[in-house]
Structure 1
Amino acid sequence: MDEDNTNQVENKNAMADALNSVHDVKVGDIVKGEILAIDDDKQLIVGIQGTGVEGVVPVKELASQPVADINEVAKVGDVLDLVVISTIGKDKENGSYLLSKRRLEARKVWSEIQDKFNAGENITAPVTEVVKGGLVVDAGVRGFIPASMIQDHFVDDLNAYKGKELELKIIEIEPSENRLILSHRAIVEAAKAEQREQVLATLKAGDTVEGTVARLTSFGAFVDLGGIDGLVHVSEISFERVEKPSDVLKVGQKVTVKVLSVDADRERISLSIKATLPEPWTGIEEKAPAGSVLEGTVKRLTTFGAFVEVFPGVEGLVHISQISHQHIATPNEVLSEGEDVKVKVLEVNPDAHRLALSIKALTPKPSSEENHSAPKAETNHYQDNNSSYQDNDDGGFTLGDLIGDELKHSTDNDQK
């Protein structure tokens, strides 16, 4: 065979090999492409290695994020891993295939996310966009967090999350439909559950801890101790009488509380703010000695007298007989709750938390008043928050104890 014939045979074989290799390139194949040129900064012209044909990579198929300048991410001579998306035109011999780097990377990401989902692992991703109904994140592929899965409470402003990186639980994954549903709420709830277990395991009655007011109700305040709430009953907020917790506390306020009891099985913790405060009756003999004059506020009116608060958490009783020189049937004839009054201390019993007070002792006795005998003592039973007052109780104040020398002095003058 002469040389010309030999060359012709070799050329035919080479063409046949090239044609065979072209047919080997199929949609979905992963190939390597060498960048031959950058066309108008809009696409790459690549040679598919081992095939002798060319393909095109549009700029939008280069990366998952928009590319501002194609020359910053690619240059002639670079070799890229690409996936064949489709064919372009009918001339496969000269070739043209639409190729993508972005989709190949996404395929790898989907595979990694699927592995993490199967293993029960979480992922971390930044929030890139706020859309109707939730948040969009970049997890290498587009992920979506429904609004109900962002937090364990209602989120008013979703824009506050834009740009933040969140730990996320994979709820649903479907690569064929590019669907990835994620939840940050599940992460928050799991963290709080762990904190709750730790708090219940370590907290005990008598401990003093810091907390944050989480919720206010009519009966008390729920304080967050770090993953679990404890209840401060309204009676344990202050030594002063508190009508509504919202009058003295605010949501978000930092407070110091004492643990009264812990029920780990029912996950209930009873707390007290009052128990961390100074006892208001401490030093009362120095603050309110017998004979001293104090200013106070009428807190409660009963049939037998008026309770007057002279210091925060310290109330004393003005017996009905010590309200006025004139005879009155009920205290509310001359006093009103909330009224500011001056009182004289008749007697102090710090152990029993009792003060006997008088308003009458600070007012002049009318000259026309003629009383020939002291008013007959009536047996009354009444109770304060901390202790009981009882006229005929040997351990408490009798009427004579309540009135003391003031009544005796007044009676002696009347009989002269």
Structure 2
Amino acid sequence: MVENKGKFNNEDEMMDSDEEFDDMEQSFEDLFESSLKELKSGNVVLGTIVQVNPDTVVVDVGGKSEGIIAISEFTDENGKVKELKVGDQFDVLIERTENENGLISLSKEKADRQKVWNTLEENAVVEGRIVSRIKGGLSVDIGVNAFLPGSQVDLRPVRNLDKMLGETFRFKIIKLNKRRGNIVLSRRVLLEEERESLRSDTLKTLEEGQVVEGQVKNLTDYGAFIDLGGIDGLLHITDMSWGRVNHPSDIISVGDKIKVKVLKFDREKERVSLGLKQIAPDPWLEVEKKFPVGEKVTGKVVSLTDYGAFVELEEGVEGLIHVSEMSWTKRIKHPNKILNIGDEVESVVLALDIPNRRISLGLKQVEPNPWDVIGEKFPIGTIIEGQVKNITDFGIFVGVDEGIDGLVHISDLSWTKRIKHPSEIYKKSDLVRAVVLNIDRENERFSLGVKQLAEDPWSSIPTRYAPGTIIKGKVTSVTDFGIFVEVEEGIEGLIHVSEISKEKIDTPKNFAKVGDDLEAVVLHVDTAERKIALSIKHLSDQKEKAEVDAFLGAQKSATSNLGDLLQGALGKANTGKDEE
């Protein structure tokens, strides 16, 4: 028996089948009519990809014809086309029900925007990405373009808005106009709300002596403001480090997260003073133990002033090398002549002042004091030879040893010459022989003499120019009180105005002038004052006396000779008588 598949067994079955077919046909017609109603411009419908082309995507939206969407609507934020495949579904907006090619114009982007617009409302919080800078602020993508005014970007004005580009944040809608398509956002409102919440929590828990973590918010010349969580605290520059801080930026930067100690907290005024150095122990508590007086220490030069150099011995501990403690022998005008910032130097601890946090250091004390041995090297009376290092009104400085100069005072340059200024006979770099006169180690003075190399001519003056000696010399100077005459090279005698003539002289200038040759007699010699008193008015008397003395001497000599002759003759006569 063969099965009768696909055939009706009777008329009733066939009638039932016709009715079902009519119902199905009616359903399809109703569904088609319903889809036609949906496919109106401006409506959003569900679409299915049926074909992906290089420039377009063909989408079935259930109408008589299919729709197309530009492939550019399927790019990501970097402009790269997303991966698409047949069967993918998504909402699309109908722009036109049929174009010139008989296709429906669709837009996925506009459908997405419309969905976003339907969800937006004022004061709602949304997330968005800053995409560009525009006049007055920034453009933000929250699914649709929204405007973020510059004043609403942060709690404080942002100088460089470009650095915000590409960043994603949460925003609050503060203005919404769907008809005009305007949306105004604020990030600042959310930050203020968050800050107020943090501030409330911080005020409840903040206590003096507490160590808290905060973020560096702002730097000034005198310190830094630290955000502790809704409330700012001041970290003064003096509380940043136990050591020297020239500027807060030397140790912290804006944005840094640091731990600080609450030093003072005024809850009513909401003022907080913070300390960074107080987290670590005070290094000065161990200074006396670590750096005892007399100890050699090594440190780094951190600052130079006119009066010395500050040396960091360890973090927070500095000592001062005064300019007077830098060299045993050299006169240091400024520390930068021998030291530079950053130099590692060895020095000796000279003194500690713990209460005032001061350490006195000595650089020269690292080496032996040359003044301690200079006396052994150059005993008094030693003849040295050295170059003229410096010339002053009062003498010349001669190099004796490394860093030690000896002074030849102007009064020790010559026994006899009147020297107005040492430069009359010396210039720098001249080689000079001198004798060591004295060494004052305590005051670091080394005295030399040039004239002492020769015998003092005044020691023999009293013998060579005894009172009554007649001299001849040239006039070297004429003053109101007398005339100076050079007795010999470097030795002068004074003819006082009262000793010029027996007659009254108004002024010596009428009697002689410089260069004249004069003859005078020595009245007196004062070796202590190095003075020779001369006289012209007594010259004639002295000459007469000399002539008389000479005459008497001659007579005495003649008488003596005559006596000798007479005695000789008498002797001969007596001898003759005896012979008879």
TM-score category of the 2 structures, normalised to the smaller one: 0.5 to 0.7
Task: State how far apart, in whole Å, the 1-side matches of 2:42 and 2:204 are.
Answer: 57
The 5-angstrom pairing of residues 186-335 of structure 1 reads 186-295=189-298, 297=301, 308-309=310-311, 311-312=313-314, 313-315=316-318, 333=333, 335=335
The SS at the match of 1:260 is strand
Which one of 180, 184, 192 corresponds to residue 177 of structure 1? Answer: 180
Q: How does 1:20-59 map to 2 (within 5 A)?
A: 59=69
Aligned to 2:166, what secondary structure does the other structure show? helix
Choose the corresponding residue for 2:349, options 332, 345, 356.
Answer: 345
CA distance in 2, matches of 1:33, 1:316: 81
Match of 1:113 among 113, 120, 132: 120
Classify 1:109/1:245 alpha carbon distance in 2 versus 1 (closer, same or farther; 3 Å). Answer: closer
Residue 160 of structure 1 corresponds to: 166
Quickly say closer, same or farther: Cα 1:64–1:136, change in 2 above 3 A: farther
Question: Which fold has the larger relative contact order, with Cα–Cα distance below 8 Å and residues 6 or more apart in sequence?
Answer: 1
Say if 2:127 and 2:142, in contact at 8 Å, map to a contact too: no
Q: 1:145 to 1:258 in 2, by over 3 A?
A: same
TM-score (norm 2): 0.43
* Structure 1: distance between partners of 2:351 and 2:93: 96
Q: Give the residue type in structure 2 aligned to 1:112.
A: T
Deviations 1:339-390 (A, max 9, x none): 4765433454656645455566563336479xxxxxxxxxxxxxxxxxxxxx
Supply the distance in 1 between the matched residues of 2:312 and 2:163 (Cα, whole angstroms).
Answer: 48
Mark the CA change 1:205 to 1:169 in structure 2 (over 3 Å): closer, same or farther. same
| 1:135 corresponding residue in structure 2 | 139
Distance 1:233 1:72, change over 3 A: same
Post-superposition shift, 1:173?
1.2
Correspondence 1:65-104 to 2 at 5 A: 71-73=86-88
Q: Distance in 2 between matches of 1:84 and 1:352?
A: 84
Q: 8 Å contact 1:301–1:337 — kept in the other structure? A: no
* Separation in 2, partners of 1:338, 1:249: 32
Distance 1:225 1:337, change over 3 A: farther
Tell which deviates more after alignment, 335-344 or 211-220.
335-344
Q: Which residue of 1 aligns with 2:471?
A: none
Change (3 A) 1:259 1:84: same
8 Å contact kept, 1:57–1:100: no
- What is the SS of the residue equivalent to 1:156? helix
Change (3 A) 1:72 1:126: farther
| Aligned mates of 2:232, 2:45 — CA distance in 1 | 59
TM-score (ref. length: structure 1): 0.56
Q: Distance in 2 between matches of 1:298 and 1:26?
A: 81
- The CA deviation at 1:31 is 9.6
Structure 1 position 169, deviation (Å)? 0.6
| SS of residue in 2 equivalent to 1:176 | coil
Q: Which has the larger radius of gyration?
A: 2
Distance 1:168 1:57, change over 3 A: farther
Aligned 8 A contact 1:124 1:167 in 2: yes
AA in 1 matched with 2:120: I
The structure 1 residue matched to 2:125, chosen from 101, 110, 122, is: 122
Query: Matches of 1:149 and 1:282 in 2, distance apart?
Result: 50
The 3-state SS of whatever aligns with 1:181 is strand
Aligned positions, number: 328
Cα distance in 1 for partners of 2:259, 2:338 equals: 29
The alpha-carbon distance between structure 1 residues 124 and 64, as it changes in their structure 2 partners (threshold 3 A), is: farther
Could you give the per-residue CA deviations for residues 87-128 of structure 1, whole angstroms, max 9, x where no partner exists? Answer: 879xxxxxx9989897677556434313xx2xx33123456x
Amino acid at match of 1:311: L
Distance 1:357 1:83 in 2: 85
Cα deviation for residue 195 of structure 1 reads 2.4
The one-character-per-residue Cα deviations of 1:237-285 (angstroms, maximum 9, x if unpaired) are: 2222222223333334443321212344544322122212331212223
Partner Cα separation in structure 1 for residue 326 and residue 45 of structure 2: 102
Contact 1:168 1:182 in 2 (8 A): yes
- 2:235 maps to amino acid: V
Unpaired segments of 5 or more residues in structure 1? 1-17, 49-53, 75-79, 90-95, 370-409
Give the partner amino acid of 1:193.
E
Corresponding residue number in structure 2 for 1:384: none
Look up the SS of the partner of 1:124 in the other structure. Answer: strand
Displacement after TM superposition at 1:170 (Å): 0.6
2:47–2:91 Cα contact (<8 Å) kept:
no
RMSD: 5.4
Percent identical residues = 29
Match of 1:372 in 2: none
SS at match of 2:200: helix
Deviation per residue, 1:311-360 (Å, 9 max, x gap): 2433457789877778x9xx975756994765433454656645455566
